[in-house]
Amino acid sequence: MKDGQMTERPAPSNPAPSSIDPAEVAKFQAMAREWWDPQGKFKPLHMLNPTRLDYVTTQIAAQFGRDLAAAGPFQGLTLLDIGCGGGLMAEPMARLGATVTGADAAEGNIAIARLHAEEQGLAIDYRATTAEALAADGHRFDVVMALEIVEHVADPAQFIATCRELVAPGGMLIVSTLNRTARSFAAAIVGAEWIMRWLPKGTHDWRRFITPDELAQMTEAAGLRVVDRCGMVFNPLGWNWSLSHRDLSVNYVLTALHDADA
């Protein structure tokens, strides 16, 4: 990889299998117009975003020796936000100087993301495509983010294996999702969907939530080395989120590296 550009190889003649679940894509396609409304259906993500950004930027800076206090600290790094939605994480990463590709299987999400990025004067390569298609085309990135998506794919293990293909040697994969616990059912479904009505009922299926150990096993099996697991904890009294390496019972995030010599 040179000058922060992703590399390509000729596409194979046979199309890659997809881990996309059409029903899950349809859910988010229907909500696409609300991505940038902080009081809309994506209010939980707007609230969570600063904490996600804090974690992600800290991990990237540590891996690539970047100073977050510098101007454009991620210049020269290529980054893929797979399942990017409306671009809530892609945009701040572009502002930090990364060369960002945002991919989502829902074309409505990509249309909204492109429009918002243009309005903000940001150059982000948004694509209505899948992780499998990008991997089949030979794309590789320094950083791959898969945030709040793995619980919505048809085959999480296959999806993680595909993400590994997308990570360049020496690069990293960052995955966030929901743990499968009684607390996550109470918070993400009963609280967020049934009581607060932040999300439409049925947005999440608790049976598809993945424990940190399960996600770590999938990631290691794919050939990546897990280096960190951290919880993202909501405080209803302070009405804010924080990071915790002790509480991974609801939302959590995992970082894994593609060792250059692996």
Cα–Cα dist 43/34, whole Å: 9
Residue 3 scores a pLDDT above 50:
no
34 band by pLDDT with thresholds 50, 70 and 90: confident
The average pLDDT across 59-75 equals 98
Is the pLDDT at 14 greater than 50, yes or no? no
The DSSP bridge partners found for residue 250 are none
- Secondary-structure percent of the chain, ordered helix, strand, coil, rounded to 5: 40, 20, 40
For the annotated binding site, the residues are 52, 83, 104, 147
User: CA-CA distance, 215 to 229, in Å (whole number)?
Assistant: 10
Q: Answer whether 96's CB lies under 8 Å from 74's CB.
A: yes
Residue 143 in contact with residue 59, Cβ under 8 Å? no
What does residue 60 show for φ and ψ, rounded to 5 degrees? -65, -45
| Residue list for the binding site for S-adenosyl-L-methionine | 52, 83, 104, 147
Contact 179, 248 (CB under 8 A): yes
Q: Residue type for 246, please?
A: R
Instruction: Delineate the domains of the chain, giving CATH numbers in brackets.
Output: 22-258 (3.40.50.150)
Q: Which of 88-97, 112-121, 140-149, 193-202 has the lowest mean pLDDT?
A: 193-202
**pLDDT surpassing 50 at residue 7:** no
Average pLDDT rounded to a whole number, residues 34-42: 86
Residue 209: pLDDT band by 50, 70, 90 thresholds?
very high
